[in-house]
Each structure stands twice: as structure tokens, then as C-alpha cells.
Amino acid sequence: MTGRSPARPERGRMRALLAALALAWLPLAAARARVVRLDTALGPERVLVLRPAHPRATLVMLPGGTGRVGLTRTGRFRHGANFLVRTRRDWVRRGFAVVIPDAPGGRDLRGHRHGPGFAAVVGGLVRLARRRIGAPVILFGTSQGTIGAVNGAAHAAAGSVAGVVLTETVSVPGRLSRMTVFDADPAAVRAPVLIIANRDDRCPVAPPGQAPAVARALGGASSVTVRMVAGGAAGDRPCGSLGPHGYFGIEGRVETAIAGWIGTLGLEKEKGGA
């Protein structure tokens, strides 16, 4: 018995990983879904559009890492562990439409999310969301994706973005990419911003203690809210999706905090007046 017990946490982690990946492969019958193709300056990209019957808002989700999530023509993800990808149906159940792009041209987006080319990519996603769904648009980035969310919001057409959500914001240059949200023109963002930071995140490029500095850099935003959370299952990699950096095990708490903040934006009034 004693010799077997150390393996139990590893077996539990493997079961949790398989469960997370299985969620990413579930059929899309629970909500209306489409996979569409967008031609961008960085190459063609597949985009999943997933919506409930009456969406409160549309979350344009920008995953981190390389940005490659392996979206297939049938709406499945080959790489489904990312926080945004694995919780997409949770958001639909909460009344939100979801737009998730794969990396344009299959390229590695690290080091490219801060530039004008990627701002144009995000602008195309916003236009797609507004055209296909018609609900207010929230840009939602996690980890490296926060750079793209800030860049997109900074260069968005006036009134096209209703809010920005940043989770585990990249604020320190790393080995694989030197770019951070500070390189994405944060002072030009005008929409309200929510920053979620996990006290237990040990990813060196997204230290939770930097959240106030990120908030200060967003000085032009109509409002900036910082919410600290704590917890998450211990991950095998500091910047991995299945650990505190990706809110693994505390997804519901984080989702509730974000949905609550979105509820303060008065989007129903905006939607009704559109």
C-alpha cells in the first residue's frame, strides 16, 4: 500500500486531464454552432461561433500560448485544455455567445499579438461577432491572449467593444516572447476592463502582483476593476492550462466573477437600444 500511494495524485491528474480534453471533443448539439473561415493579413483562420438562443453578449475569446487550438471543420479542438476553450459551454449556459479563433495561418502568435497585423485580426473577429450575433462584444484574453485583447481594444472602432476581460495577464517579458500587454498600447483602450489575477499563479510572465501596474497602464479606460482570486489544482508546469494559471479546479468561481462584472456594464440597455 505504501509503495502505491505516491502514484495516486498523478493518476488523479491524468484523469482530470482526460476529462478536460473530453469536454473539448463533445458534440456541439447543445447550442447553435458554426465554424467559419476568415481571411486575415496573417493568413486564413478558422473561427468557432457558438451561441445560445438569446445571447446577453458575445465573448470574443483569445487563447494564450501559440494561439494554435487545433479547431477542426466540425467544431472540435485538438488542443482543448486552455481555460477559454474548455469552459466555452459554461459561458453558453450562462447566456453568452462565444467566438474562438484558431491561429491565423497556423502560425505561432507569440511575439506577434502586439502589432497592427494582429489588431486587424481582432477587428475582423469583432465585426464577425457583431454581424452574426448582434450582441455587445467583450474581448476576453487569457495569458498571452491578453496582449491581443488589449491590442484589439486599443485599435477597435469606436463603440464596437463593450468591455475587455484579462485573465492572468502577461506583464513580464519571457524566454519565448519578449512582448507584454505594455507593448500593446494599453493607454488607448477606452472600454471598461476587468483584470483577474490568481494569487497562486506561479507563471513567471504573469505575476499576480503586477495587476495594479497593468491597471495603471489602462489609464484611458472608462473603468478598470481588479479582482484577485486564489486556488487551483497544482499543475505540472507553472504556465500550464491545468493549474492555477488556467484556474484548473476553480473555473466556476472565476466564471461567476467575470459574469457578475459583465452584468454591471448595462449591456441589456445597450442591446435594447441597438
| Weakest mean pLDDT among 19-33, 135-149, 241-255 | 19-33
C-alpha distance from residue 68 to each of 27, 82, 111, 113, 187 (Å): 20, 10, 14, 13, 28
% of residues, the chain, pLDDT over 70: 86
Taken in order 80, 83, 85, 90, the sign of the CA dihedral is positive
Look at residue 198 and give its three-state secondary structure. Answer: strand
C-alpha–C-alpha distance, residues 246 and 235, integer Å: 9
What confidence score (pLDDT) does residue 101 get?
98
Query: Does 29 have pLDDT greater than 70?
Result: no
Q: Which pLDDT score is estimated for 271?
A: 61
**If pLDDT is split at 50, 70 and 90, which confidence band does 24 have?**
very low
**Mean pLDDT across 70-94:** 95
41-75 pLDDT, tens per residue?
Answer: 899 999 999 999 999 999 999 999 999 999 999 99
Whole-number mean pLDDT of the chain?
90
Q: What confidence score (pLDDT) does residue 41 get?
A: 86
Q: What are the boundaries of each domain within the chain?
A: 30-265
pLDDT digits (tens, 9 = 90+) for 186-245: 999 999 999 999 999 999 999 999 999 999 999 999 999 999 999 999 877 999 999 999
Class in CATH terms, 30-265? alpha beta
